[in-house]
Amino acid sequence: MALNPAEAPLRKLMGPGPMDIHPRVYRALTSPVIGHMDPAYFKILDQVGEGLRKVFQTQNRVTHATPGTGTSGMEACVANLMEPGDQVLACVHGYFGDRIRQMAERQEAEVTVIEGEWGKPTEPEKVAEAFKANAYKVITVVHAETSTGVLQPMDDIVSLAKEHGVMILLDTVTSLGGVELKADEWGLDAAYSCSQKCIGCPPGLAPVTFSDRAVEAARNRKHPIRSWYLDITLLDQYWGSTRVYHHTSSSTLNYALLEALLLIEEEGLQNRFERHLRNHQALVAGVEAMGLEMLVKPEHRLPTLNTIRVPEGVDEAKVRGYLLETFNLEIGAGLGALAGQVWRIGLMGYSSSVENVLFFLSAISRALAIQDYKTDLSAGSEAAMSLLNA
């Protein structure tokens, strides 16, 4: 029997994304559809670009949102910056760092991989060694590794890239809008994200920013950009002042993105970062007081995506199924090397709230009790509240 969209279950979304959406963003989605070449729509696109510049903390003229999920943003950055024979250094310490590597290889770039342990960041010493051994055009880095919950420290890698004149491509899928990100200060040449996580929209758009150096490199390649749809030199003609038709842009999704960006501006970036960090710290305090363990060391934990180790003897899939069926609560499973070993708990955008922290602690405690794994919920709730009330 077919499911009527109006009958879709109302979930509490606390996985790796998508996340819950603010009511104002939902209302924006009901605005009238207009044409992708309508002068009124171009004003919307201009505002989206300006809002994204503020969140990326950049003055890059080419800052907008590619059509498609975060993976389209990844492919846009890779396809425009890399061509056959380019020397690329890929930092891989999780599932999505490896996805960038795969894309780079499909562009026939010469890829050198720094393979790191899942749950730990890339060590800058290894980057320094690689830079001494070879001259690279691009280094790819994942700022917020969604598969592990690791936040990559950037200062040393940024300094090394600048010293050697290497372009930086950064994955900010799980950090943009929730964690400090300084595109201009760090000298990023290309960065991408998604609409459905910290930004607070439905999936379907991928914010991107390209430096002037990156755009110039795309224009002066030896080989044509292999992706016509994600060719930034063509997209720029649509987003920019010339307004050359490129594709049928979704007015509905861009209404939602603009409203989400307005909400971010009203809250204030620093206030938003502090909210994400405070709720993350409360969740971790509660989880650990209950007797559970986090995967990532404190200094490298990503505030927006929390990875909890599955206790020995617990069926992690049954826990997730119980949470979904009993509490309408969605959390994420482990990916790749961490499959079956962790749960991924998202506290992003509208879903990063005091209520969600306390709800999760209670729900996971009950789900574990069903499998005869005892936790101290009282201690967990008290530990979380002690930080939330501080």
Look up the CATH number of the domain holding residue 304: 3.90.1150.10
| pLDDT 10s digits, 11-62 | 999 999 999 999 999 999 999 999 999 999 999 999 999 999 999 999 999 9
Distance CA 161, CA 131 (A): 8
Question: Which of 210, 244, 266 is at the close of a domain?
Answer: 266
For 33, counting Cβ atoms within 10 Å of its Cβ (0-12 exposed, 13-18 middle, 19+ buried), the class is exposed
Angle at 17 (CA atoms; ends 305, 300), nearest 5 degrees: 15
DSSP annotation of 6? G
pLDDT reported for residue 6: 76
233 plus 363 within the same structural domain: no
Low-confidence ranges of the chain (pLDDT < 70): 1-2, 390
pLDDT of amino acid 324 = 98
The domain that holds 246 is classified in CATH as 3.40.640.10
381 in Cβ contact with 286 (< 8 Å): yes
pTM given for the model: 0.97
pLDDT at residue 4, as a whole number:
80
Contacts of 231 (CB under 8 A, 6+ apart): 79, 80, 218, 225
Rounded Cα distance between 274 and 151, Å, is: 15
224 and 332 housed in the same domain: no
Nearest by Cα to 151 from 302, 279, 307, 295: 302
Structure tokens belonging to residue 33: 């559809």
The reply to whether 152 falls in a domain is: yes
Q: Which domain holds residue 56?
A: 23-266
What backbone phi and psi angles, to 5 degrees, belong to 25? -70, -40
Letter for the amino acid at 35? G
The answer to whether the beta carbons of residues 383 and 289 sit under 8 Å apart is yes
Q: Can you tell me whether residue 153 is helix, strand or coil? A: coil
